[in-house]
Amino acid sequence: MSPLANYCQELYYGLTPRAIRARAVMLAADVVVIGYFVGTTFLPLYDWIIMLDIVIGCVLIVDFFARMLAHADRMAFVIRPISLIDLLVIVSLFLPAMMGNFAFLRVVRALRLLRSYVVSQQLRRHSAFFARNEDVIFSALNLIVFIFVITAAVFVLQVQSNDSINNYVDALYFTVTTLTTTGFGDITLVGSTGRLLAVIIMIVGVALFIRLVQTIFLPNKVRHECPRCGLTRHDQDAVHCKHCGQVIHIRTEGS
């Protein structure tokens, strides 16, 4: 293995203080980039956005190849779904500078939000707050990713044919009012594709919204440490630990 590959492996998988600090910086950078993609979806394609996109794209290229060098099986790394999505996002950052603005790029960049699942896995290992509230945060993350990906799809598929969808905010407004079942009716999707998209929002989006509410007000698991094996998450009505069979006594308030 080359010295560069050894360095990348130590940086991304090592346990030294330097490696841990570096991963903390990269984690913060991931959060910033995701926030940037969400924020700039509401803006026209200004020149400064194009320039910043190119800079971010170059940084992501370096990060991608470093991760590939650090991985034991590089081909397996490249063909992973999350890696392919990263490559699509990287390409989308350079296209506007070369070929102009394309509406479909909003969908591609929205897929970068899927990177937040990788970020959440890292936070779970390093943040006690995240570990305590993992269910709520993960349910909220599912809903947020769905909202922005579907909003991008609504914008791309309707902006040319629907007089009610003139910008990204209109698409976001329709998505949120539909999944919350508010349904003011001032914006509707046109065509068979639009109606199918509305059905997806109503079925999947409402289910994710209800799941978030259930997680907040009626968690499926309770935290109680098993005295024998140390398992800390159990069903609310559990009498025995699913891992070792130990009798456990979970305090409840009844129903």
* Model confidence pLDDT, tens digit, residues 93-123: 888 777 766 666 766 777 777 777 776 777 6
Q: Between vectors from CA 216 to CA 211 and to CA 222, what angle results, nearest 5°?
A: 100
- Answer yes or no: is pLDDT of 53 > 80: yes
Q: In the prediction, which pLDDT does 30 show? A: 82
The rounded distance, in Å, linking the Cα atoms of 53 and 174 is 28
176-191 residue pLDDT tens:
998 887 878 788 899 8
Q: Residue 77 — φ and ψ, nearest 5°?
A: -65, -45
Of the candidates 147, 142, 135, which has an alpha carbon nearest to the alpha carbon of residue 110? 147
Task: Return the structure tokens found at 155.
Answer: 């914008």
pLDDT band at 55 (very low <50, low <70, confident <90, very high): very high
| Residue recorded with tokens 């940086």 | 11
User: Which ranges in 159-205 belong to alpha helices (H)?
Assistant: 168-179, 191-200
Read off the pTM: 0.68
Cβ proximity of 181 and 164 under 8 Å:
no
